[in-house]
């Protein structure tokens, strides 16, 4: 059985749960709280030298890290990854977009507002994340005005990757009301079989 | 023929050149200088609404963005992508690591030192990037002490992704002398058939 080291309140970790649930795969979840230093212990660093969750340990002991690589591994051979080469690349395009142009703004603003012990002290940092977060939402709105899902016509792990922090973007101070196509897409993701939300 | 919109001095763009050259694929390169606003014109934004290079346009007009998704697309079916599922996921793990934990430190420090019109004014920002860059190099050193290449025993596009900015990390002020396994790996990548460096 796949063992997941994850923090339930983390969108990156939630992606792994979404895919495991969508594919009805059995798993053990080991709650790993980054705010308590759980990812900085020698035993955790032996699993993932980059000191981040999520990390998964497979039956043979192999450890995989990086949320988007983990969900690619779990979903290979399922219909969560497009069979067509160009759509597969398009899916990856949006997954790299998520990690580079979305997560560092929207997830970081949310983490500071929600988990920092003194969010007011972080006001300037949070403020510095808003423009980038809205830019990412603009780019998503542009895509979703033309396509039902990110890779194409079908739900894929690119949607999982972008759903994770977008569906809680309000906790980062982002107003999703401005993005009708994003909102319609959130509803389409929510309607997928065995869908789970973070809250 | 694949049309590449890229800036030759950008590591992200250089990845695309490395893979096209390695696979001996024909391409047209349209030099696109981000420092001159070439990625902010209406015509470029129509190609890539995220306003970044590299972007490639395929024969049928389709545009793909995100360096690591582009090189995945170009390399599919070649021996630059492992045939085995776990190694393929491992390759992607390091490609996501590159975009999240490596590029935002090493590439950004290099860009500010090399391309900013007044690098001295950026000293504090550059300084703030050093610890993260060295942390990424530590994680790479750990991996390369155990494995010849990032995905496993064979050269893959994960090595291309990490080579791009690592081989010019000195331009960002990073001392690669501290990382013997990284240096040996750089030499292994350089020894690949049809290898091209950025300088």
Is B31 in the same domain as B11? yes
Q: What would the mean pLDDT of B54-76 be, rounded to a whole number?
A: 97
Tell me if B198 is assigned to some domain: no
Structure confidence by residue, pLDDT tens digits, A133-178: 999 999 999 999 999 999 999 999 999 999 999 999 999 999 999 9
Instruction: Tell me if B98 sits within 8 A of B140, measured CB to CB.
Output: no
Residue B134 lies in a domain: yes
Contacts 24+ apart (CB under 8 A), A110-114: A110/A11, A110/A165, A110/A168, A110/A169, A110/A171, A110/A172, A110/A173, A113/A171, A113/A172, A113/A173, A114/A9, A114/A171, A114/A172
What residues of A are in contact with residue B68 (Cβ under 8 Å)? 92, 96
Q: Which residues of B touch A68 (CB under 8 A)?
A: 92, 96
Per-chain mean pLDDT for chain A: 97
Whether residue B92 is found in the same domain as residue B56: no
Q: Span A100-105, mean pLDDT?
A: 98
**Do A42 and A106 belong together in one domain?**
no
Question: Does B112 reside within a domain?
Answer: yes
The pLDDT assigned to B199 comes to: 76
The pLDDT-based confidence of A184 (bands split at 50, 70, 90) is very high
Co-location of B68 and B142 in the same domain = no
- Same domain for B92 and B71? no
Residue B35, domain member (yes or no): yes
CB distance from B104 to chain A under 8 Å? Answer: yes
pTM: 0.98
Q: ipTM exceeding 0.90?
A: yes
A20 found inside a domain = yes
Could you give the CA distance from residue B192 to residue A17 in angstroms, rounded to a whole number?
A: 39
A100 chain-B contacts, CB cut-off 8 A: 66, 99-100, 103-104
Residue B196: inside a domain? no
Question: What CATH number has the domain bearing residue B32?
Answer: 3.40.30.10
Supply the range of the domain harboring residue B44: 2-75
Report pLDDT for A199: 76
Q: Are residues A99 and A172 in the same domain?
A: yes
Domain check: are B57 and B133 in the same one?
Answer: no
For every residue of B153-183, DSSP letters joined together read: SS--HHHHHHHHHHTTGGGGT--GGG-HHHH
If asked whether residues A115 and A153 sit together in one domain, one would say yes
Question: pLDDT over 90 for what percent of chain A?
Answer: 99
Q: Is B197 inside any structural domain?
A: no
**Interchain CB contact of B145 with A (< 8 Å):** no
DSSP string, chain A: -EEEEE-TT-HHHHHHHHHHHHTT--EEEEE--GGGTTTSSHHHHHH-TT--S-EEE-TTS-EEESHHHHHHHHHTTSTTS-SSHHHHHHHHHHHHHIIIIIHHHHHHHHHHHHH-S-GGGGHHHHHHHHHHHHHHHHHHHHHHTT-SSSSSSS--HHHHHHHHHHTTGGGGT--GGG-HHHHHHHHHHHTSTT-----
Residue B68 has pLDDT above 90, yes or no: yes
What is the pLDDT averaged over residues B131-146? 98
Mean pLDDT across chain B: 97
The verdict on A15 and A36 lying in the same domain is yes
Domain assignment present for residue A13? The answer is yes
Query: Which residue in chain A is spatially nearest to B65 when comparing CA positions?
Result: A93
Kindly tell me the burial class for residue A49, based on how many C-beta atoms sit within 10 Å of its own C-beta (0-12, 13-18, 19 or more). middle
Q: Are residues B98 and B7 in the same domain?
A: no
The number of folded domains in chain B is 2
- CATH for A153: 1.20.1050.10
My answer on whether B25 and B98 are in the same domain is no
Q: What is the pLDDT of residues B167-181, one digit of tens each?
A: 999 999 999 999 999
Residue of chain B whose alpha carbon sits nearest to that of A97: B66
Do B62 and B158 reside in the same domain of the chain?
A: no
B68 touches A at CB < 8 Å: yes
- Residue B40 predicted with pLDDT over 80: yes
Domain final residue pick, A29, A51, A75: A75
């Amino acid at each position: 059985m796949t063992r997941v080291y994850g923090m339930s309140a983390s969108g990156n970790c939630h992606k792994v749960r979404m895919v495991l649930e969508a594919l009805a795969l059995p798993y053990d979840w080991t709650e790993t709280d980054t705010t308590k230093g759980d990812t900085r212990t020698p035993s955790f660093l032996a699993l993932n030298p980059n000191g981040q969750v999520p990390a998964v340990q497979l039956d043979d002991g192999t450890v995989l890290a990086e949320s988007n690589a983990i969900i690619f591994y779990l979903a290979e051979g399922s219909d969560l990854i497009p069979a067509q080469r160009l759509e597969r690349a398009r899916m990856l395009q949006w997954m790299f977009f998520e990690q580079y142009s979305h997560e560092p703004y929207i997830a970081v603003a949310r983490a500071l507002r929600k988990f920092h012990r003194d969010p007011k002290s972080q006001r300037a940092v949070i403020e510095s994340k808003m423009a980038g977060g809205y830019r990412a939402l603009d780019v998503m709105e542009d895509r979703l005005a033309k396509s039902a899902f990110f890779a194409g016509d079908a739900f894929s792990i690119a949607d999982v990757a972008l759903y994770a922090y977008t569906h809680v973007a309000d906790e980062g101070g982002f107003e999703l009301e401005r993005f009708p196509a994003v909102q319609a897409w959130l509803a389409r993701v929510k309607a997928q079989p065995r869908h789970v939300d973070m809250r």
